[in-house]
Amino acid sequence: MTDTQGKPNLLDLNFHQLEDFIVGLGEKPFRARQVWQWLWQNAVASPQEMTNISKDLRARLEESSCIVLPRVAKRLQSSDGTVKFVLELADGAQIETVLIPEKTHITQCLSSQAGCAMGCTFCSTGTMGLKRNLTHGEILGQILLARADLEASGSALRLRNLVFMGMGEPLLNFEHLVNALESLRHPQGLDISTRRITVSTVGIVPGILEFGRTGLGSLAVSLHAPTQELRARLMPKAARLPLDKLMEILRQYPLAHREKLTFEYVLLGGVNDRAEHARELVRLMSHVKGKVNLIAYNPSPGLPYEAPDPADVEAFQKILWDKSVTVTLRKSKGKDIFAACGQLVTASERGDD
């Protein structure tokens, strides 16, 4: 992404690209490290703030590049402490990111695309269609903005975990995703460990195994149904990759010792939350190294599904437990500000703005 005068945005360059850019300006490559540090650790808004580099280089950077972050269009705080940001990108597209406070740290939910092409029938983002892929700078810019916000609010909790569970299907923006994940772990940059990163996908080929080979994060797979027929009803586009094929691919997924895949399963009241579904799911899980993360559906305006009955959620969980399937129930946060999973749709689309 470039600004209106067509200058490159320094935040869109990975480390090697920045190095090339700096060398192109006639400087030694090691200057790139300093500039990188200013960008990602000090979050400067202009080269003029880069006080340990020469005035001359600062001026040349100013002339030939720009530093553009997404703009915070809205900041909404939930009664449970969850904060949602609506961000506006340089071309006016909007995305959302959410900060979720846990007991000891904060988890940030990141967007990878503006909108989503997959159109899962229960997901608000899916109703928007795909606007476009996010760039390196737009993916990581969400983290810079979160850090600035935490600092400004004097939060005692540190940002620790990152989950790609906001808008978009990360593996359909593969190149920028992998580039951003590489940059994330740079010690002179954001310096976030790969172990703290989870990428959630409905299952895209060849992206899944390619992502596995990078070793740049853990994988969560949005399953939501234990049979092909039901999955095709809930997620028609994702289910073009048949369930048995998806499971076969996941069996080849490179896992570290004791590592497991996470299977996300959104419980939709009366649709996929019956005992028979739980038993089918147990059968499916017997073929892979995986654990199940149940999510009670957050009803979204205009979509034809209901939250599950808490008793059904408990019964579903128990069937898995009894068969020794590791299962957790995700607590939904930020419902009052539509920041919960699948409620990410920009307000202008929702029509309440």
Interface positions with ligand SF4 (CB under 6 A): 116, 118-120, 123, 125-126, 168-169, 202, 222
Q: Which of 116, 120, 123, 341 is catalytic?
A: 341
Cα–Cα–Cα angle for 305, 311, 316, nearest 5°?
Answer: 80
Q: Smallest distance, Å, CB 116 to ligand SAH?
A: 6
Question: CB under 5 to 8 A by kind: which of ligand SAH, ligand SF4, none does 115 bind?
Answer: none
Q: Where are the beta strands (DSSP E) in the chain?
A: 71-77, 83-88, 94-101, 105-109, 113-115, 130-133, 158-164, 197-201, 218-222, 261-267, 290-296, 327-330
Which among 35, 60, 63 is positioned nearest to 49, based on CA atoms?
A: 35
Tell me if residue 341 is catalytic.
Answer: yes
Q: Smallest distance, Å, CB 119 to ligand SF4?
A: 6
Question: CB under 5 to 8 A by kind: which of ligand SAH, ligand SF4, none does 300 bind?
Answer: ligand SAH
Tokens linked to 213 = 């080979």
Q: Smallest distance, Å, CB 207 to ligand SF4?
A: 12
- Nearer to ligand SF4 by C-beta: 189 or 217? 217
- Nearer to ligand SAH by C-beta: 61 or 219? 219
* Alpha carbon 37 to its chain's center: 24
Q: Please, what's the b/e burial string for 243-268 (b: 16 or more CB within 10 A of its CB; e: otherwise)?
A: beebbebbeebeeeeeeebbbbbbbb
Question: CB under 5 to 8 A by kind: which of ligand SF4, ligand SAH, none does 165 bind?
Answer: ligand SAH
Q: Smallest distance, Å, CB 341 to ligand SAH?
A: 3
- Judged by phi (left if over 0) then psi (alpha if -120 to 50, else beta), residue 296 lies in beta
For ligand SAH, the binding residues (CB under 6 A) are: 122-123, 165, 169, 200-202, 222, 264, 266, 295, 297-298, 300, 341-343
Q: What φ, ψ does residue 271 adopt, rounded to 5°?
A: -105, -55
- Nearer to ligand SAH by C-beta: 50 or 197? 197
- Nearer to ligand SF4 by C-beta: 21 or 122? 122
**Which positions ≥6 away from 107 have C-beta within 8 Å?**
99, 100, 160, 161, 162, 163
- Nearer to ligand SF4 by C-beta: 10 or 295? 295
In the three-class reduction of DSSP (H, G, I as helix; E, B as strand; rest coil), residue 151 is classed as: helix
Q: Smallest distance, Å, CB 26 to ligand SAH?
A: 43
Q: Smallest distance, Å, CB 131 to ligand SF4?
A: 12
Q: Which of 19, 27, 96, 264 is catalytic?
A: 96
207 vs 170: CA distance, rounded Å: 9
- Nearer to ligand SF4 by C-beta: 47 or 207? 207
Burial of 315 (0-12, 13-18, 19+ CB in 10 A): middle
Tell me if residue 120 is catalytic.
Answer: no
312 vs 328: CA distance, rounded Å: 15
Number of Cβ within a 10 Å radius of residue 334: 24
Catalytically active residues are 96, 341
